Amino acid sequence: MRGVYNYRWNDVPCNNPCNYICERHKDITVNGSSVQFVYSSKSHTVLDIVYRMCLSAAPYKVEASARMLDESLPHRFNVIPIDIRSYSFIARLERIDLNSGWSTSEINISWIAYFSTPVGIY
């Protein structure tokens, strides 16, 4: 863009050194959840969370949260994705209300997968 062209686009040869502006499309998101029976003798464990849908590519980012299905239990968790794949993601599930483990419990993992380009869902 140049002032002499009223700040409109002005194409120049590719070998001219210039600053540049990149257009980025809005992220495409896919979300889901998975109920798992989980226990740990420590304050954390590692889970393989399957998307339960076929994606044509791996997301570039996954955000996740966890909650006990039995809401009378005081357990609170952080979910930290550590390896993102096209069919699942590996996440560290950390108990944050106490520094201890928990007995076998049903935990709902909710997730949002982010894609920068359209993704096929099969």
Instruction: Look at strands 88-95 and 102-115 and give their pairing.
Output: unpaired
In a domain, 93, yes or no: yes
- Whole-angstrom distance, CA of residue 97 vs CA of residue 99: 7
Tell me the per-residue pLDDT of 12-57, one tens digit each, with 9 for 90 and over: 777 777 666 666 667 889 999 999 999 999 999 999 999 988 888 8
How many structural domains comprise the chain?
A: 1
For residue 15, give the DSSP letter.
Answer: T
In a domain, 20, yes or no: no
In a domain, 13, yes or no: no
CATH classification of the domain holding 68: 2.60.40.2080
Tell me the per-residue pLDDT of 52-88, one tens digit each, with 9 for 90 and over: 888 888 999 999 999 999 989 999 999 999 999 999 9
List, as one string, the DSSP characters of 20-61: -----PPPEEEEEEEEEEEEESSSEEEEEEE-SS-BSS--SE
